[in-house]
Amino acid sequence: MFDYDLLVIGAGSAGLAAARTAAQCGAQVAIADPDFLGGTCVNRGCIPKKFLVYAASFARQQTLAKSYGWVHPTGQFDWLALRSAIDEELSELRQSYAAKLTKAGVTRLNCPARFIDPHKVDLGDRTVSVDKVIIATGAKPVKPDLPGIDRGLTSRDMFSLEALPGQLTIVGGGYIGAEFSHIFATLGCQVTLVDKNDWILPGFDQDIRQTLHQSLMDQGVRLWSETVLKAVRTDQSGLHIHLSGKHEDTVLADTLLLALGRKPNLENLNLEAAGVEVEDGAIAVDDYSRTSQPSIFAVGDCTNRLPLTPVARAEGAAAAKTLFTDQPQAVSYRWVPSAVFCSPEAATVGWTEAEARAQTDLEVEVHCARFMPLRYQLSPQKREALIKLVVNGRSQEILGLHLVGDDAAEMIQGFVPGLRRGLTLADLRETIGLHPTSGEELFGLG
């Protein structure tokens, strides 16, 4: 007899979905994590960062309001008041997660877990036996081994700053670097964004990359591309951030954010004892999230797949159903949308133009439109919008959809069901849109 049918290690998005789904399937489930429920997304990632995006949007709205007849729209921003409000909301979210686990019958273990063998796990004060395990320990920020790097903060630290930075330097131009650049520049900070690439947001369609790159510069972000961090030195005047590459320079700042990516959080699991293989720093899994050990699965950012919260949730639920039902489930990654919450927003789903052209058996068409949304026609605060379709030239099926503009994230996900079922360019052209909106531009492309 085992103490539990399933032990889930990690109580982030993937782990919570796995635990609740397995319990609903009738399994006796425990979930182990020494940290807050909800993992990075809820506590130090997506949710609090979106609150910061909203705060920045109010600052932008005040500037825009002057063009619409509001003579005195300005107000005073209180960073600590925002922090307090966010902390209160996150506490309520964690309580909600705890209540849902209790209702589902999941045992919560507020401790780390370490394998002794595939079916025995050390919880610190005791050892438990488990039939199956799902590892969902997520990922953590990367910190390079450079002089003075301990003075650099990671994204998780940005939500507990005691004051709004005056001079903020961000190293890394992915999601985190781009979003925090927009947020703090809009809130009045002097922001320098340093990135090793020629354009920010590697992996996105090139038109999105160039559009948001230019947008951040238009917002006052000093953006230095093809440049890397070399060292950090501290004195009474602040942080001296030494750079090399295209900009061989030293930047003075009071805050340094390291946004250099994330790596799977596997330390202290003792995966060797469990017989779980690791490849390139991540747990190796098959299409059904099975590891090299038949009784152990892994889901979410501790694997080398798509590091997005909705994907992690889907993987967790699918793994639990594979384990505890007679219908194994795999997650499809072909039509997963993603977004960058700058202003304007960027959203994407499907193949980029480069990915489509890399398919040697495809004839690729590209339909692209750039325009100024009606919202900004009265304002000197210009925000260019972009709509881009990557299309199979023979079948006219849409292979990829890429948007830049206000509410792009909300707009794009409504197209995903149609895209999964072979939405064509003709389908869009035959659709009558709402006027006047930015979305209607989609139906006139081509």
pLDDT tens by residue, 50-109: 999 999 999 999 989 989 999 877 778 999 999 999 999 999 999 999 999 999 999 999
- Residue 142 banded pLDDT, cuts 50, 70, 90: very high
Mean pLDDT over each residue of the chain, to the nearest integer: 96
Question: Residue 353 belongs to what H/E stretch?
Answer: helix 353-357
**Band (132; pLDDT cuts 50, 70, 90):** very high
Domains 4-141+263-324 and 149-260 share a fold: yes
**Residues in contact with 299: Cβ distance below 8 Å, sequence separation at least 6, in sequence order:** 14, 15, 18, 134, 135, 136, 285, 289, 312, 315, 316, 318, 319
CA distance 217 to 199: 12
Supply 42's token pair: 């809820």
Residue 146's CB: how many other CB atoms inside 10 A? 15
Q: What is the pLDDT of residue 75?
A: 79
pLDDT in tens, 302-325: 999 999 999 999 999 999 999 999
Indicate the fold that domain 149-260 takes in CATH.
Answer: FAD/NAD(P)-binding domain (3.50.50)
Per-residue model confidence (pLDDT) at position 63: 86
Give me the pLDDT at residue 428, please: 96
When pLDDT is averaged across residues 193-204 and rounded to a whole number, the result is: 98
292 to 2, 72, 98, 284: CA distances (angstroms): 21, 64, 31, 7
Point out the least confidently predicted range of 64-73, 173-182, 189-198, 327-336.
64-73
Predicted local confidence at residue 191, as pLDDT: 98
In this structure, the strands spanning 278-279 and 139-141 are: unpaired
pLDDT at 180 over 90: yes
- CATH code for residues 4-141+263-324: 3.50.50.60
C-beta separation of 209 from 402 below 8 A: no
Q: 3-state class of 183 per DSSP?
A: helix
* pLDDT at residue 446 is higher than 90: no
Across the range 167-183, mean pLDDT stands at 98
Work out the pLDDT band at 347, boundaries 50, 70, 90.
very high
Residues designated as active site: 435
Q: pLDDT tens digit string along 18-52?
A: 999 999 999 999 999 999 999 999 999 999 999 99
Residue 316: closest CA among 4, 1, 24, 2: 24
Amino acid at 174: G
With vertex at residue 317, the alpha carbon angle to CA 14 and CA 9, rounded to the nearest 5 degrees, is 40
CB-facing half-sphere around the CA of 446: CA atoms within 13 A:
19
Nearest to 228 by CA among 111, 311, 146: 146
Measured CA to CA, the distance from residue 409 to residue 227 in angstroms comes to 30
Cα–Cα distance measured from residue 122 to residue 137, given in angstroms and rounded to the nearest whole number: 16
Domain locations in the chain as residue ranges: 4-141+263-324, 149-260, 338-444
Contact status, residue 225 vs residue 199, Cβ threshold 8 Å: yes
Do the beta carbons of residue 438 and residue 406 sit within 8 Å? yes
Question: Tell me: the pLDDT tens digits for 369-411?
Answer: 999 999 999 988 878 999 999 999 999 999 999 999 999 999 9
Confidence at residue 165, expressed as pLDDT on a 0 to 100 scale: 97
Scanning the structure block, which residue is given the tokens 């197209």?
A: 415
pLDDT at 383: 86
Smallest CA-to-CA distance from 257 within 162, 141, 349 is with 141
Distance separating alpha carbons of residues 251 and 243, to the nearest angstrom: 8
Q: Average pLDDT in the 285-312 region?
A: 97
- Domain 338-444 indexed as CATH 3.30.390.30: yes
